[in-house]
Structure 1
């Protein structure tokens, strides 16, 4: 990464990478109740996840978050690669926002009070897109 790229990429990569890595680290050893809650929420939006055991799902989610977070934090990983991972992950989270009842105000893309936490994940998509579009390698 050259100096010019570092200037604009570093704040994006540090912010998103730290956040995602921490989220994964906190999920890596879930208790049964937490795993069931997370799995149920995700499977409600993505029915194919019903076939996965809740603890297995949560551990896989944790591993994916740790991998994406580390890719963002390690500057030798090209921005395009780290950005694609973040873009895909963020899109999955926005799918939860778009498809879960009660997350958006009727007839609008804007969140209800309950939807604010998921709507905030749009910044992950924006950072991922910026890293992909701005990588000149």
Structure 2
């Protein structure tokens, strides 16, 4: 993957996710508990985190993913893997609530549209990871 396509895939999602994460760090306990309850609908394991700290933990996690995308020294495979994992967690929220989808179970309803857009983040993460792996395969063939 060339430099410009890598920057295009990493810069905007990275800045957006970093900003979102920073906004959650130190959030009030009530807001933190609300976000945790919503997140637990898709990822039940998050119930293990103390509710008053969940927002801060989530914020630092998002900031780490955003930072990895923005840091040029982080390989595409690592940044893509982080973004793919993050997006999969977001999409688990989409699929956890049947009201987010039309009767066919896939297409987003009006309610689910804001979560369904996270599929683009998943595609971006997969593209970064796949092109990095493809580049390694090509290097190995030349040897």
Q: Shared fold (TM-score greater than 0.5)?
A: yes
**17, 20, 24: which is aligned to 1:23?**
20
1:123 match: 120
2:51 match: 54
**45, 58, 77: which is aligned to 1:80?**
77
In the alignment, structure 2 segments of 5+ residues that lack a partner are 137-143
Runs of 4+ displaced beyond 4 Å: none
Matched, 1:45 2:42: yes
Whether the aligned pair in 1 keeps the contact of 2:39 and 2:46 (CA below 8 Å) is yes
Q: TM-score, normalization: structure 1?
A: 0.91
Q: TM-score, normalization: structure 2?
A: 0.88
**Shift of the alpha carbon at 1:31?**
1.1
Deviations 1:17-56 (A, max 9, x none): 0111011011011112211110010112222222222232
1:132 match: 129
Give the RMSD, CA atoms, in angstroms.
1.3
**Shift of the alpha carbon at 1:97?**
0.4
2 CA distance for matches of 1:101 and 1:11? 33
2 CA distance for matches of 1:133 and 1:44? 29
1:112 match: 109
2 CA distance for matches of 1:77 and 1:5? 15
